[in-house]
Structure 1
Amino acid sequence: MDNASVAPSASPDRTFAILAHIGGLFTSWIAPLVIYLIKKSEAGAEFATDNAKEALNFQITVFIVYMVLTFSFIGLFLIFIPMVFNLVCSIMAAIKASNGESFRYPLTLRLVK
């Protein structure tokens, strides 16, 4: 495979972007935060930084929703809804990142700018 056919956001950048999205499923906001902090000062890592920031904002939003639902009686019966939403959106974002495209999570608080 020659380098001319590789998109500007090459393998390591895409890999970190994918890890930010998938890592959020397993570690909540910790994996996207670590990747964001590592990549934000690295030159040429804008793709990974943007994806990590987007995943971080989404995972913080989902975490807040989990906390609100956990402390409400009816929320205990509805907790599966944000879990499925998190799974579906994170997989969609990882697929987009693997194709070199950015993904904007719906219904997300943009806390990290």
Structure 2
Amino acid sequence: MREDRQLLVITHLSQLLDFVTGIGGFIVPLIIWLTQKDNVAGMDAHGKMILNFQISLFIYSIISIPLIFLFGLGLFILGGIWLMGLLFPIINAIKVSNGEIPNYPMTIEFIK
């Protein structure tokens, strides 16, 4: 197993494709994780972390949609989700490049 911090950083940053393609931020990290989890040290843990974060953001988005119509509160929640989806991949990519352990708050652990 080889150590490849650069690929780990790219995997975290690939989540930002959501802002360009809509779903690329889930598909690209999934493909990288599935193809490299046995070859790159730490990829299995990082891939699971990223996918759990993406699934959690999707669920939070779905939950917030009815709240838009009921209370208007859903707009604030969607704004927070958008901000989290933008900032945390960047913050965690920087952490990984510095050799630190990344953290995605409010993530539901679906993949263990």
| Aligned-residue offset at 1:56 | 1.2
Say whether 1:20 aligns with 2:17: no
Shift of 1:75: 5.1
The residue number in structure 2 matching 1:59 is: 54
Which letter maps to 1:77?
L
Q: In the aligned structure 2, how far is the partner of 1:35 from the partner of 1:53?
A: 11
What is the one-letter code of the residue matched to 1:70? I
Is contact 1:23-1:32 (8 Å) kept?
yes
Matched letter for residue 12 of structure 2: H
TM-score of the aligned structures, taking structure 2 as reference length:
0.77
Say whether 1:50 aligns with 2:45: yes
> 1:25-48: per-residue Cα shift (whole Å, max 9, x none)?
212321221111011232xx1222
Asked whether the 8 Å contact 1:32–1:53 carries over to 2, the reply is: no
Uncovered stretches (5+) of structure 1, i.e. residues with no partner: 1-7
Superposition map of 1:63-102 within 5 A: 63-72=58-67, 73=69, 74=72, 76-78=74-76, 79-102=78-101
Query: Alpha-carbon deviation of 1:76?
Result: 4.6
Cα offsets for 1:2-23 (capped at 9, x unmatched) = xxxxxx83xxx21221122111
Match of 1:85, SS state, is helix
Count of residues paired in the alignment? 101
TM-score w.r.t. the length of structure 1 is 0.77
Identity %: 32
RMSD over aligned Cα atoms: 1.8
Any unmatched runs of 5+ in structure 2? 18-23
- Inter-partner Cα distance in structure 2 for 1:71 and 1:22: 30
Given that 1:68 and 1:75 are in contact with CA atoms closer than 8 Å, whether structure 2 keeps it comes out as no
Higher helix share: 2
